[in-house]
């Protein structure tokens, strides 16, 4: 299967088995550069496993995964880390911020792989915090921030290095409705400015905002729906 010109992610016949459990059972999926995609499905359907495959956090049992033109099977673990660092930003339900560390340095530490000096990483981190509307909170530590603000710091960390692809696994799962809406609006905005965004959610309201919805059930993609261009 050839990688389409504009594809950032291509999964072909991806199967993932854990012991005797088949979490994914032959998934074909292409995500184009610039898309905003929601992956939905009931708990246990394989959404997180799919995220792990797309994000190259884990390798498939069978099938092919290409991200940003690289065939995952041909890369060592070290090369995969470099691929993730260069191309993919991650946001999870838990914010995963280091306690006692300022928002600025939480974001700057996400750029450690870049090998840049601390001063430059802090400059980039400052820009990322500005993008998420938290320039004035840069010196705050996580416990001094609301849940919504903490998740926005996590988003800043994910996008500070300018990834092509932002993967979010239930990013609003720990937030109240208003804070969740703020984070979703931020993901929309990042998408409009060119980042490909894939959001995994069991929340149909969240999914309804996305121009493309992929439904997963029992380890299979059972629907791939595109809304009209004006439905966002
Ligand atoms: P979802 O994200 O939709 O809730 P998951 O991808 O987490 O679904 O899980 C899909 C299936 O794979 C479930 O049956 C789950 O129990 C199983 N599974 C996921 N990760 C592991 C693992 N590390 N070890 C064993 N089973 C797993």
- CB hemisphere CA count around 172 (13 angstroms): 22
Residue nearest to atom 13 of ligand 1 (CA): 44
| The two structure tokens encoding residue 113 | 């792989």
What local confidence, expressed as pLDDT, does residue 232 receive? 39
166 in Cβ contact with 151 (< 8 Å)? no
What local confidence, expressed as pLDDT, does residue 4 receive? 43
Q: Cβ neighbours of residue 31 under 8 Å, at least 6 residues apart?
A: 7, 8, 9, 10, 37, 54, 165, 196, 198
Is 52 near ligand 1, meaning CB less than 6 Å away?
no
Distance from residue 44's CA to the centre of ligand 1 (Å): 6
What is the per-residue pLDDT across 14-59, written as a single tens digit (0 to 9) for each?
A: 999 999 899 999 999 999 999 999 999 999 999 999 999 999 999 9
Distance from residue 129's CA to the centre of ligand 1 (Å): 33
Mean pLDDT of 168-185: 92
- Which alpha helices (H) appear in 101-217, and where do they start and end? 103-109, 118-131, 147-159, 177-192, 204-208
The domain ranges of the chain are 7-227
**Mean pLDDT of the chain, nearest integer:** 92
What is the signed CA dihedral for 63, 68, 69, 72, rounded to 10 degrees?
A: -40
Residue 216 clears pLDDT 80, i.e. is over it: yes
Residue nearest to atom 16 of ligand 1 (CA): 44
If you count them, how many residues does the chain have? 232
Q: Per the CATH hierarchy, to which homologous superfamily does domain 7-227 belong?
A: P-loop containing nucleotide triphosphate hydrolases (3.40.50.300)
What local confidence, expressed as pLDDT, does residue 25 receive? 97
Q: Indicate which atom in ligand 1 lies nearest the CA of residue 202.
A: 3
Helix (H) or strand (E) holding 13: strand 7-18
- Identify the CA nearest to 31 among candidates 78, 68, 64: 68
Distance from residue 15's CA to the centre of ligand 1 (Å): 13
What is the per-residue pLDDT across 99-145, written as a single tens digit (0 to 9) for each?
A: 999 999 999 999 998 889 999 999 999 999 999 999 999 999 999 99
Q: Cβ neighbours of residue 232 under 8 Å, at least 6 residues apart?
A: 36, 188, 209, 210, 211
Q: Cβ neighbours of residue 131 under 8 Å, at least 6 residues apart?
A: 156, 159, 190
Q: Is the pTM of this model over 0.85?
A: yes
What local confidence, expressed as pLDDT, does residue 228 receive? 63
């Amino acid at each position: 299967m050839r990688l389409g010109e504009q594809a950032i992610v291509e999964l072909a016949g991806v199967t993932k088995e854990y012991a005797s459990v088949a979490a994914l059972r032959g998934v074909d999926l292409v995500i184009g550069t610039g898309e905003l995609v929601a992956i939905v499905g009931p708990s246990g359907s394989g959404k997180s496993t799919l995220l792990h495959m797309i994000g190259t956090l884990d390798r498939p049992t069978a099938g092919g995964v290409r991200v940003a033109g690289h065939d995952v099977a041909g890369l060592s673990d070290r090369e995969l880390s470099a691929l993730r660092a260069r191309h993919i930003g991650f946001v999870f339900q838990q914010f995963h911020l280091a306690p006692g560390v300022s928002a600025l340095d939480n974001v700057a530490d996400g750029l450690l792989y870049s090998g840049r000096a601390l001063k430059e990483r802090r400059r980039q981190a400052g820009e990322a915090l500005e993008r998420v509307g938290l320039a004035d909170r840069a010196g705050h530590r996580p416990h001094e921030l609301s849940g919504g603000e903490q998740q926005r710091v996590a988003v800043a960390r994910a996008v500070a290095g300018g990834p092509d692809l932002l993967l979010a696994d239930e990013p609003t799962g720990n937030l109240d409705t208003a804070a969740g809406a703020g984070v979703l609006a931020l993901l929309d905005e990042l998408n409009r400015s060119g980042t490909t965004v894939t959001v995994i959610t069991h929340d149909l309201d969240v999914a309804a905002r996305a121009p493309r919805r992929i439904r997963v059930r029992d380890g299979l993609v059972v629907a791939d729906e595109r809304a009209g261009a004006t439905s966002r």
